[in-house]
Amino acid sequence: MLGRVSLLPKSVARRSISSRRHASTKTIRDALEEVIPAKQARLKQLKTEHGQTVIGDIKVEHVVGGMRGLKAMLWESSVLDPMEGIRFHGLSIPECQKVLPAAPGGKEIIAESMLWLLMTSKTPTEAETRQLSRELAERGELPEYVVQLIDSLPQSLHPMTQLGMGVAALNKESKFAAAYERGIKKTEYWTYTLEDSMNLLARLPALAARIYRNVYNPGKPIPGVNKDLDLVGNYVNMLGYGSNHDLTEYLRLYIALHGDHEGGNASAHTAHLVGSTLSDPYLAYSAALFALAGPLHGLANQEVLRWQLNMQKEIGDNVSHDDIKEFLWRTLQSGQVVPGYGHGVLRSPDPRFMALQKFCETRPELLKDPVIQLVKKTYDVAPGVLKEHGKTKNPYPNVDAASGCVLYHYGLTQFKYYTVIFGVSRALGCLTQLVWARALGLPIERPKSLSMDVIDTLVKSP
C-alpha cells in the first residue's frame, strides 16, 4: 500500500510497489511523480518571465466586495468559466462522463476516477481506477479514538460541526505534521501531504456515515469497509442504503461533480489559505468544512429543498407554470431570495444542474416524483421572473436547485445532513490542491488590507 511504503527509501518503495501490481498500472503517486517536474518548471518559467506582467486591475469594489472576481489565486485542477461552466483540466462535465471510468456494473463517474484526473491531469485507465478504489478501501477504517469522539457528541449537534471536529481530530494521524517536526526537505512536502490526503479521503465515508447513524439512527449497526467497493459504494452501504443501486449511482455522480469548482469558493479558498501556513491536510480541510457549513455556501442545498417543499405545501402537486410564477413573486416581494438560483461566477445554467436533470430524465420513477416535477417546472419559469425582477446577475439555476430533491426521493430526507455529503465530495478538489501547493512550493497567502481612510486617499490621489 502507498501509505506503508512511501516513507521507505525510494528504491525499496519502488520494488515493494512494483511487486504488488501489474506493469500496466500505476499508483496515483507514480503518476504524480511523472507530472510534477513539468509543472514545477512551468511555474518557474512563469515567475521568471512574467512575474511583473499585469493581468488585471484592482478596483475599490474588489476590496470592499469580498474580492469577488479578483484574479489572485493559483488553482490547477479546474477552471470556472462564467458562460460554459466548470472544466476539469480542460474537460467539460459531458466529456468527463464519456471518458472517466465508472464503478463495475455502473454508468456514472466515480470519485476515484475524478480524483485521478484532478490530481494528475490524466484520464485513468480502468485498472488504475480499480487499484485506487482498493487502496482507499484499505485505508478506510476510522481510528478508535475518532469513533469514541463522534459517539460522545450530543445527537443535537449539527452534523457539519461533527464532521469538522472528526476531521480535525484525525490530525493525530498526520504523516506531514510528524515529518515536518523531525525535519524534512521542502521537496518532500508533497509526498507526506499526499499520504495525509489519501488517508483523509479514504476515511471520510466512515466518518460521515457514523455521524448519520448517531444523529438519525442511534444504535443501528454500521457495516465495515468492503475492500471490493468503490469509495461511494462503501459510503452508501455504511449509510444503510447499500441495496439501492439508483441512489448509489446518483451519489457517485453527485460527489464526482461536486469534487472541485475552482479555488475561489469559500471552502476551497479556506483550505488553500490554511494549508499555505503548512497546517496539515486534516486541519486545512476541517477549516474548509466550517466554511462550507455557512448558509451562503454549502448549506444552500438544504434551503432549496425546504423552499420547494413549502411551495408544494402551499400550491399543491398539480401546479401550473402560472402558480409557480405567482409563488416566485411572493418570495421576492417578501424580501427573500429564490434559493438555488444565481451564482457568484456563473452567468448561465450550471452544467452540474443540467447533468443531474439528465440523470432524472433517464429514470421514470424520478420523473413521476411531484417534487422533482416541481424543480423542472420552476426551471421553466424562474429565469424569466428573475430577469424581470432585475436584481439577480445570474437568473439561472445552480446545482443546489436539484441536488437535494433527488436525495429526498430516495429516502435520505434529513436536510441537515445534505451538506455533509457535499463535504465528502469537496475534499477531492481541496486536497488535490494542497498536494499541488506543496509540490509547487507555493508561499503563505498574505494579501494586503486597506482601511476606508487609505482607500479615500488612494482614489483621490492624482
- Compute φ and ψ for 222, nearest 5 degrees: -110, 125
User: Is there a contact between 141 and 203 (Cβ–Cβ < 8 Å)?
Assistant: yes
> Quick one: three-class SS letters along the chain?
CHHHHCCCCHHHHHHHHHCCCCCCCCCHHHHHHHHHHHHHHHHHHHHHHHCCCCCCCCCHHHHHCCCCCCCCCCCCCEEEECCCEEEECCECHHHHHHHCCECCCCCCECHHHHHHHHHHCCCCCHHHHHHHHHHHHHCCCCCHHHHHHHHHCCCCCCHHHHHHHHHHHHHHHCHHHHHHHHCCCHHHHHHHHHHHHHHHHHHHHHHHHHHHHHHHCCCCCCCCCCCCCCHHHHHHHHHCCCCCHHHHHHHHHHHHHCCCCCCCCHHHHHHHHHHCCCCCHHHHHHHHHHHHCCCCCCCHHHHHHHHHHHHHHHHCCCCCHHHHHHHHHHHHHCCCCCCCECCCCCCCCCHHHHHHHHHHHCCHHHHCCHHHHHHHHHHHHHHHHHHHHCCCCCCCECCHHHHHHHHHHCCCCCHHHHHHHHHHHHHHHHHHHHHHHHHCCCCCCCCCCCCHHHHHHHHHCC
Identity of the residue numbered 54 = V
Please pick, among 297, 350, 369, 409, the residue that the annotation labels catalytic: 297
At 322, list the grid cell: 402560472
> 269 an active-site residue?
no
Q: ∠ CA 83-89-95 to the nearest 5 degrees? A: 70
> 343 an active-site residue?
yes
> 297 an active-site residue?
yes
Say how many C-beta atoms besides its own lie within 10 A of residue 373's C-beta.
Answer: 18
Identity of the residue numbered 460 = K
Please pick, among 261, 343, 350, 409, the residue that the annotation labels catalytic: 343
Please pick, among 196, 230, 369, 400, the residue that the annotation labels catalytic: 400
Q: Is 160 exposed, middle or buried (0-12, 13-18, 19+ CB in 10 A)?
A: buried
From 157, 159, 164, select the one nearest 212 (Cα to Cα).
159
Provide the annotated active-site residues.
Answer: 297, 343, 400
